[in-house]
Structure 1
């Protein structure tokens, strides 16, 4: 039987761990493969592009992924960190890996940022895989 391949985008907020808890509740570890993903959006600014800043961002991504992987001990887990626009990178990874599901948590952003759009809404509109959005 083919395992279900699940992409789980994570950010640095605690709410993103809801995806992990939900997976553990509803999926048997023998039935799925999980790709944990962290995308760091880099704003092009003179001070930000210093090598040490990029290194710190990479380390933070690795920490987020390592903590999530520990929560999923016993599951088949791959960790993936990248720089770029979150929605674009999530869609690209899901397609490259032929993922069956993308599991995300609902944004907690308010106001203007929320009205303009979000990573989650772009993924929902453009993903070829089924997208599950969990409330906070």
Structure 2
């Protein structure tokens, strides 16, 4: 049996880590290959220059988030992936590149105007070419 490819985007919040709990409830270790993903969103405005320190710090934070999640998935086949950019775009790109079977993520916590503009979760659900599971709080 070929393992299902599961993409789990994490933003470092406790809420996003619930995706891992759901993954463990839904799938046995032998059934899936997991890619844990974190996207560092570095905003550049007015030709602002980003220092190497900023990039290095963002990379370290991203690695820390993924390492925390990795500890919860002992025994699973897991890859880690860090990206820079807009989270939804990077998640969709990675899912397509890896030919992911499933994306598991948590629902948005945004309210008001941020919700109207559109959350990462909403954009992924609308544009993914694969099954997206949204874990509750």
Normalising by structure 2, we get a TM-score of 0.95
Indicate whether 1:121 and 2:116 are aligned. no
Q: Give 1:104 shift.
A: 0.6
3-state DSSP class of the match of 2:29?
coil
Q: Give 1:75 shift.
A: 0.1
**Structure 2: distance between partners of 1:58 and 1:106:** 24
What does the per-residue CA deviation read over 1:26-81, in whole Å, with 9 as the maximum and x for residues that have no partner?
2100000000000011100436x111111111000000001101110100000000
3-state DSSP class of the match of 2:58?
helix
Q: Give 1:115 shift.
A: 1.3
Normalising by structure 1, we get a TM-score of 0.96
**Structure 1: distance between partners of 2:13 and 2:78:** 20
**Structure 2: distance between partners of 1:18 and 1:12:** 11
3-state DSSP class of the match of 2:55?
helix
- For the aligned residue pairs, the C-alpha RMSD in angstroms reads 1.0
Structure 1 outlier segments of 4+, above 2 Å: none
* Structure 2 unaligned regions, length at least 5: none
Paired residue for 1:72? 73
3-state DSSP class of the match of 2:30?
coil
**Structure 2: distance between partners of 1:53 and 1:70:** 26
